[in-house]
């Protein structure tokens, strides 16, 4: 059944039936605005991301369910980077009228299942006709005011840490472009895991002086921290956490084994700075969470951006520093 056959309001009704009422939601889908009850002593967080067909994804690479999960995950990752608690989301969709209802239901199923893993409720949104599929999500959350972690705050001498591994998603995209449809790297690109619990733990324990999620690439996003904090950053190639699958596969897709790990983006891992005396506490948290958290460099006083060092402390040249929507 196509959307043109059932109309906008039947689509909204179908989505409403899929959505569950969330914690703190007084009124969700079905009115002019959602009504939420904030928790006492908390401040509000809000973020938004959009995914546009042909720019952020291609339907020949993914399916609607995994696309829905990723659309929710990239927003959840922004709240994670502040150490916040995600609460409710608004989803706006532009889609062709000849799209199948089953496609849209699968898309929302992916979004809702990803969101509900963190008790996030769908509370509204909008729909429109469009030539290309556009998914826009606004995610609202909250945090203790004194526990929010910003991009600014890194200080000279801080260590630079990253959760998980880097480069897998970017290499997975290269595999998709070459026709490979499955595998760990492909899965990492199509359905990244938002580090919500990790971000909350880092913030709750006061481990980070600054934090960001890796969406545009490690170098670019570390550059955002450096710029906001008015410091420089130095990273050691030998310390980069790179997965065994990445090491095995990268030579077939890139002449530079480190380029995708440094600048590829879409890892949605957390990149943060921390005082050196908290290194043991960071290690303890990594063991408790069951994920690697690796020190990859340090913050320096001179606001020189990000410098990468390879063997023998030689500066490692980077042709492209990360993703920019308006630069080729």
CATH number of the CATH domain containing 14: 3.30.1330.10
Bridge partners of residue 315, in order along the sequence: 309
In a domain, 108, yes or no: yes
Considering the domain architecture, whether residues 86 and 165 belong to the same structural domain is answered as no
Residue 262 has pLDDT above 70, yes or no: yes
Considering the domain architecture, whether residues 123 and 171 belong to the same structural domain is answered as no
In a domain, 212, yes or no: yes
Residue owning tokens 């938002």: 194
In a domain, 17, yes or no: yes
* Confidence at residue 10, expressed as pLDDT on a 0 to 100 scale: 62
Residue owning tokens 């509000």: 44
Considering the domain architecture, whether residues 140 and 193 belong to the same structural domain is answered as no
Chain segment 233-254, per-residue pLDDT in tens: 999 999 999 999 999 999 999 9
**How far apart, in whole angstroms, are the C-alpha atoms of residue 109 and residue 250?**
33
Mean predicted confidence (pLDDT) in 72-77:
97
Number of domains observed in the structure of the chain: 2
Q: Report in angstroms the alpha-carbon separations of 192 from 66, 70, 98, 247, 261.
A: 10, 6, 29, 19, 15
In a domain, 304, yes or no: yes
Residue 322 has pLDDT above 60, yes or no: no
* Confidence at residue 210, expressed as pLDDT on a 0 to 100 scale: 98
* Confidence at residue 22, expressed as pLDDT on a 0 to 100 scale: 63
Supply the mean pLDDT for the chain.
Answer: 90
Q: Which percentage of the chain shows pLDDT scores above 90? A: 72
Cβ partners under 8 Å of residue 319, min gap 6: 259
Residue 4 has pLDDT above 70, yes or no: no
Higher per-residue confidence, 159 vs 128: 159
Considering the domain architecture, whether residues 123 and 219 belong to the same structural domain is answered as no
Considering the domain architecture, whether residues 93 and 12 belong to the same structural domain is answered as yes
Mean predicted confidence (pLDDT) in 221-237:
96
In a domain, 199, yes or no: yes
* Confidence at residue 106, expressed as pLDDT on a 0 to 100 scale: 95
Q: Tell me the residue range of the domain where 137 lies.
A: 3-147
Considering the domain architecture, whether residues 33 and 92 belong to the same structural domain is answered as yes
Residue 323 has pLDDT above 90, yes or no: no
* Confidence at residue 212, expressed as pLDDT on a 0 to 100 scale: 98
Q: Is the pTM of this model over 0.95?
A: no
In a domain, 272, yes or no: yes
H-state helical runs in the chain: 3-6, 8-18, 64-81, 101-116, 168-177, 184-190, 196-204, 218-229, 244-249, 259-263, 279-289
Mean predicted confidence (pLDDT) in 283-289:
97
Considering the domain architecture, whether residues 39 and 79 belong to the same structural domain is answered as yes
Last residue of a domain, one of 147, 180, 197: 147
Residue 324 has pLDDT above 60, yes or no: no
* Confidence at residue 195, expressed as pLDDT on a 0 to 100 scale: 98
Residue owning tokens 């502040």: 82
Last residue of a domain, one of 109, 126, 147: 147
In a domain, 54, yes or no: yes
* Confidence at residue 81, expressed as pLDDT on a 0 to 100 scale: 97
In a domain, 22, yes or no: yes
Higher per-residue confidence, 145 vs 268: 268
């Amino acid at each position: 059944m196509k959307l043109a056959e059932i109309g906008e309001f039947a689509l909204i009704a179908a989505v409403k039936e899929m959505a569950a009422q969330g914690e703190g939601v007084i009124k969700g889908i079905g009115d002019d605005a959602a009504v939420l009850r904030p928790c006492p002593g908390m401040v509000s967080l809000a973020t938004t991301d959009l995914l546009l067909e042909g720019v952020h994804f291609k339907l020949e690479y993914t399916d609607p369910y995994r696309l829905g999960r990723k659309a929710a995950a990239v927003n959840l990752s922004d709240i994670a980077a502040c150490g916040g608690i995600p609460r409710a989301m608004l989803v706006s969709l532009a889609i062709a009228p000849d799209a199948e209802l089953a496609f849209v239901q699968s898309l929302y199923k992916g979004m809702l299942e990803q969101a509900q893993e963190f008790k996030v409720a769908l509370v509204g949104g909008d729909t429109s006709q469009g030539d290309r599929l556009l998914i826009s999500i606004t995610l609202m959350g909250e945090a203790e005011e004194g526990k929010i972690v910003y991009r600014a705050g890194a200080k000279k001498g801080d260590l630079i840490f990253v959760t998980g591994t880097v480069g897998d998603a970017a290499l997975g995209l290269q595999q998709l472009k070459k026709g490979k449809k499955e595998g760990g790297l492909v899965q990492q690109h199509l359905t990244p895991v938002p580090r919500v619990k990790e971000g909350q733990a880092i913030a709750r324990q006061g481990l980070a002086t600054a934090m960001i999620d890796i969406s545009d690439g490690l170098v670019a996003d570390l550059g955002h921290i450096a710029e906001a904090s008015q410091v420089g950053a130095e990273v050691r190639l030998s310390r980069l956490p790179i997965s065994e699958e990445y090491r095995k596969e990268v030579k077939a897709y890139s002449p530079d084994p480190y380029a995708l790990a440094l600048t590829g983006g879409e890892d949605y891992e957390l990149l943060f700075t921390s005082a050196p005396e908290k290194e043991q506490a960071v290690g303890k948290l990594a063991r408790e969470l069951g994920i690697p958290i690796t020190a990859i460099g340090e913050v320096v006083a001179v606001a020189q951006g990000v410098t990468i060092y390879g063997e023998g402390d030689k500066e490692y040249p980077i042709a492209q520093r990360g993703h920019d929507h308006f630069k080729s």
